[in-house]
Amino acid sequence: MESSLHRSLKERFAAEGNQEVPLEGFRIDAVDPEGCLVEVQSGSLGPLREKLRRLLPVYRMRLIKPVPLERRLVRRARRDGPDLSSRRSPKRGVLVDVFDDLVGLVPLFPDVNLRIDVLAVSIEEIRVPRRRSPYFKVVDRRLIAIEQTRSLQRAFDLWSLLPADCQGQAPFTTHDLARQLNRPLAMAQRVAYCLKGSGAARVVAKKGNLLVYVRGDGLET
């Protein structure tokens, strides 16, 4: 079932009447006022890879990728029932979380016909009880606000998703990146994979078992 978050973003970016458009054997979420194909994707971008591979040589495409930074947790007895309680989640997201979902799209990014809009959003998460752990089920997500947008069109744009202290010119390893991001090594490895695969970073040496990276030469790619 389509979430309220997906529907809201689709309506926001579509030209009037241009939603759920059949094209070349695919169904496109929307077409924007400039004629660009719009796909809204809350989860991994990897499942869109075949659609993009087929359509990008001919059409301009815009991927809308929401990243929840703040969640309000709403408890209900059933999906369409009244709100029983509401509280702000103590956990906050950060833009760097999007690298978890970008890894599946690295072989196709950057592309002259592709733009990825990463939206920092606040949402409501509707939960109903269930019998097994974690004893609730998320039945819907609703958009509260779009806090900021980062548009990715060139390889260099990926650096804008990282904190300022990760954007220097000094060589770095994934261990360095994990410390700077205060995230697990596996997350830093996904970030490095995206930077290297897109050309935003390149490998210049090896330190023990670790690759040493620097910013890529083609920053305007």
Report pLDDT digits (tens) over 39-74. Answer: 999 888 999 999 999 999 999 999 999 999 999 999
Q: What's the mean per-residue pLDDT of the chain?
A: 93
Per-residue pLDDT at 7: 95
Per-residue pLDDT at 158: 96
Note the Cα 88 to chain centre separation in Å: 22
Per-residue pLDDT at 167: 75
Coil, helix or strand at residue 197: helix
Q: Is the confidence at residue 220, as pLDDT, over 70?
A: no
Domains within the chain, CATH numbers bracketed: 4-153 (no CATH), 155-221 (1.10.10.10)
The answer to whether the predicted template modeling score (pTM) of the entire model surpasses 0.85 is yes
Q: Token digits for 100? A: 């978890």
List all residues 6 or more positions away from 101 whose beta carbon is below 8 Å from its beta carbon.
Answer: 41, 43, 44, 45, 46, 65
Question: What are the CA-CA distances from residue 182 to residues 44, 84, 122, 166, 211 (Å)?
Answer: 22, 36, 22, 11, 19
Q: Is the confidence at residue 165, as pLDDT, over 90?
A: no
